[in-house]
């Protein structure tokens, strides 16, 4: 079946245009055709395998509709009733606990362990070439400032989540039966003090690492990703893969069937995906461990036994650790939202933007991903609206638990009062945002500072893109800080210019023309 949202939209159009309504026979034929499509949500780190997964479906004689999401969002999508036939998370532990309707079948397709890629000189300096460290030892050197690393956000990416729970489980000397009381918050905080580069996905993390590799000592990611990174000519120092002595959590990629009516197509696809030809052709060269017994993994993968840790087997423990990460453990942040309120934003576009911002203040949402991605403690949010001019900024400090509700309500009020007028001064607004960011860097030097830029049109007032580039080149490098900008392409915004802004700042462009804007705003939270 085609995705429910699309089908609903199609039906609405057909009702409005009655004269073009198809016959009963036509609709029956369409329904039969749509039933042949297997709707699947894959873990976001598998986007590089999109072509291979679709080719496998074609070989199996079926059609697949593939989308991507982080593990928490994936589960929320299913539980909210979206038309999803199967999911392929990196690790099946959390979905098995959190899905309201349990999977009808699970097939583990392939494997990739979490590993720590460390520069060779740092490996020797820390003595890790002689003996693999424990997670607690890694936390100790991170606290001492001797190990600065990149890792994905545990809220949006399995890599970061798996690492967080590996540390918690290893220190408590527990596997699945970890309790909240046994989580050592101090060690987790020490470990995360070395977390200097974050990202919402494993792939983008690699790109960011290449740009900042001189300021970092290593990268935590899938062993497959790290080994592919070692082949990149832009990498200055190759990374040695370290597997902590007390174990890691392995991504076992279980394809989970959710709809009985799709079992036959599920089985057909699985047969190809687990077949010798597919695994030999697509997995080995990507340094992914195959599940097929007759296919050997690439020799670069460590064959020695590596201890295996597990996710906790209670949702309450998972939720408590992730909440603790957001509120107490992660690096404090400052997020500057540059919001277009020009005349072209009038109507539905303004409504969508207001809804997207308001969703970030919903701490009592029914979905765990929305609750965790809302604004949290130890976070500063700055709103900077603009049209043909740049309006005064407003600052909201989420200092502690008590201030969260108050500041969230204040943001909601400001957003509600926004109205549209005038032209579009994108780069004057962005210039002001950078001025604010540099001030924040002096005021809160330990904060991770990011800028989110939402515009729906071409720049027609104030500074030009070239003006902004020239001024930024004169001022920002002197501050010796990274201020990533995440532009959202919306409406008639210039995609090329937004890409230039993102590239210049080490940020990433997000697509808001087809995707739900609230979803885009939540996705960006993984990078903040």
Tell me the DSSP string of 134-164. PHHHHHHHHHTTS--EE---TTT-HHHHHHH
pLDDT at 35: 63
Give Cα separations from 357 to 136, 506, 507 (angstroms): 38, 23, 20
Per-residue pLDDT tens digits for 278-308: 999 999 989 999 999 999 999 988 777 889 9
The answer to whether residue 314 is domain-embedded is no
Residue 85 lies inside a defined structural domain of this protein: yes
Question: Is 225 inside any structural domain?
Answer: yes
Query: Do 10 and 63 share a domain, yes or no?
Result: yes
Quick one: 243 and 180 in the same domain? yes
Among residues 290, 311, 346, the one where a domain terminates is: 290
Tokens of 241: 């893969």
Same domain, 174 and 230: yes
> Is 274 strand, coil or helix?
coil
Do 159 and 191 fall within a single domain?
Answer: yes
Q: What is the pLDDT of residue 12?
A: 32
Q: Please state, in angstroms and rounded to a whole number, the distance separating the CA atoms of residues 275 and 289.
A: 13
Any domain includes 30: yes
Q: What is the CATH number of the domain that holds 336?
A: 3.40.50.410
User: What is the per-residue pLDDT for 203?
Assistant: 84
pLDDT of residue 516: 87
pTM score, two decimals? 0.86
Out of 185, 218, 250, a domain closes at 250
pLDDT tens digit sequence for 328-383: 999 999 999 999 999 999 999 999 999 999 999 988 777 788 889 999 999 999 99
In a domain? residue 302: no
Q: What is the pLDDT of residue 5?
A: 37
Give the chain's domain count: 3
Whether residue 100 lies inside any domain: the answer is: yes
Task: Domain of residue 359: give its range.
Answer: 332-525
Instruction: Measure CA 478 to chain center.
Output: 30
Same domain membership, residue 389 and residue 369: yes
Q: How far apart are CA 310 and CA 175, in angstroms?
A: 5
Instruction: Residue 91: name the closest of 79, 77, 108 by CA.
Output: 108
Instruction: Judge if 265 and 116 occupy the same domain.
Output: no
pLDDT given for residue 26 in this prediction: 35
pLDDT at residue 4 in the model: 38
Burial class for 305, CB neighbours closer than 10 Å (0-12, 13-18, 19+): exposed
CATH number assigned to the domain comprising residue 164: 3.40.190.10
Say if residue 382 is in the same domain as residue 508: yes
In a domain, 65, yes or no: yes
Instruction: Single out the residue in 224, 250, 276 at which a domain terminates.
Output: 250
Residues 23 and 70 in one domain: yes
- Those residues of the chain that have pLDDT short of 50 are 1-33
The SS3 assignment for 519 reads helix
**Are 123 and 238 within one domain?**
yes
Question: At a CB cut-off of 8 Å and minimum separation 6, what does 476 contact?
Answer: 434, 438, 483
| Three-state secondary structure of 458-515 | CCCCCCCHHHHHHHHHHHHHHHCCCCEEEEEECCCCCHHHHHHHHHHHCCCCEECCCC
Q: Are residues 395 and 339 in the same domain?
A: yes
pLDDT value at residue 367? 77
Residue 175 sits in the same domain as residue 282: no
pLDDT for residue 15: 33
Q: What pLDDT, on a 0 to 100 scale, did the predictor assign at position 479?
A: 57
Residue 385 sits in the same domain as residue 510: yes
């Amino acid at each position: 079946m085609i995705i429910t949202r699309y089908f609903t939209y199609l039906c609405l159009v057909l009702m409005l245009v009655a004269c073009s309504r198809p016959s009963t026979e036509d609709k029956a034929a369409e329904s039969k055709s749509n039933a042949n499509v297997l709707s699947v949500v894959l873990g976001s780190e598998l986007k590089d395998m999109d072509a291979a997964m679709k080719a496998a479906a074609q070989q199996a004689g079926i059609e697949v509709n593939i989308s991507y999401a982080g593990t928490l969002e994936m589960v929320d999508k299913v539980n909210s009733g979206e038309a999803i036939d199967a999911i392929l998370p990196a690790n099946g532990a959390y979905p098995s606990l959190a899905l309201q309707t349990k999977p009808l079948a699970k097939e583990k397709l392939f494997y990739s362990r979490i590993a720590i890629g460390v520069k060779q000189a740092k490996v020797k300096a820390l003595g890790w070439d002689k003996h693999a460290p424990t997670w607690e030892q890694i936390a100790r050197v991170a606290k001492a400032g001797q190990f600065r690393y990149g890792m994905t956000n545990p809220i949006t990416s399995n890599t970061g989540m798996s690492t967080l729970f590996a540390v918690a489980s290893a220190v408590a000397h527990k596997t699945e039966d970890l309790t909240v009381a046994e989580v050592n918050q101090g060690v987790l905080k020490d470990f995360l003090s070395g977390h200097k580069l974050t990202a919402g996905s494993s792939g983008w993390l690699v790109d960011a690492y290449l740009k900042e590799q001189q300021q970092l000592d290593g990268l935590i990611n899938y062993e497959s990703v790290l080994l592919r990174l070692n082949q990149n000519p832009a990498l200055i120092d190759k990374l040695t893969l370290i597997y902590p002595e007390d174990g890691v959590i392995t991504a076992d990629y279980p394809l989970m069937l959710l709809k009985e009516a799709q079992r036959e197509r599920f089985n057909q696809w699985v047969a190809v995906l687990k077949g010798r030809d597919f695994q030999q052709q697509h997995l080995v060269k990507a340094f992914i461990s195959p599940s097929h017994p007759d296919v050997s993994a690439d020799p670069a993968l460590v064959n020695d036994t590596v201890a295996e840790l597990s996710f906790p087997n209670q949702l309450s423990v998972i939720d408590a650790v992730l909440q603790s990460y957001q509120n107490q453990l992660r690096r404090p942040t400052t997020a500057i939202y540059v919001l277009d309120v020009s005349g072209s934003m009038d109507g539905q576009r303004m409504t969508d933007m207001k809804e997207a911002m308001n969703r970030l203040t919903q701490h009592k949402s029914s979905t765990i991903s929305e609750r965790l991605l809302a604004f949290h403690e130890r976070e500063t949010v700055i709103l900077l609206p603009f049209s043909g001019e740049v309006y005064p900024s407003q600052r909201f400090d989420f200092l502690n638990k008590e201030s969260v509700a108050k500041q969230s309500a204040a943001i909601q009020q400001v957003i509600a009062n926004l109205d549209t007028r005038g032209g579009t001064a994108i780069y004057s607004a962005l210039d002001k945002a950078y001025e604010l960011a540099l001030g924040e860097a002096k005021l809160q030097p330990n904060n991770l500072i990011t800028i989110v830029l939402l515009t729906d049109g071409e720049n027609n007032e104030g500074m030009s893109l070239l003006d902004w580039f020239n001024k930024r080149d004169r001022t920002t490098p002197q501050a010796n800080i990274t201020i990533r900008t995440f532009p959202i392409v919306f409406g008639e915004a210039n995609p090329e210019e937004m890409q230039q802004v993102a590239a210049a700042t080490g940020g990433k462009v997000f697509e808001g023309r087809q995707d739900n804007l609230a979803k885009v705003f939540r996705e960006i939270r993984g990078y903040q």
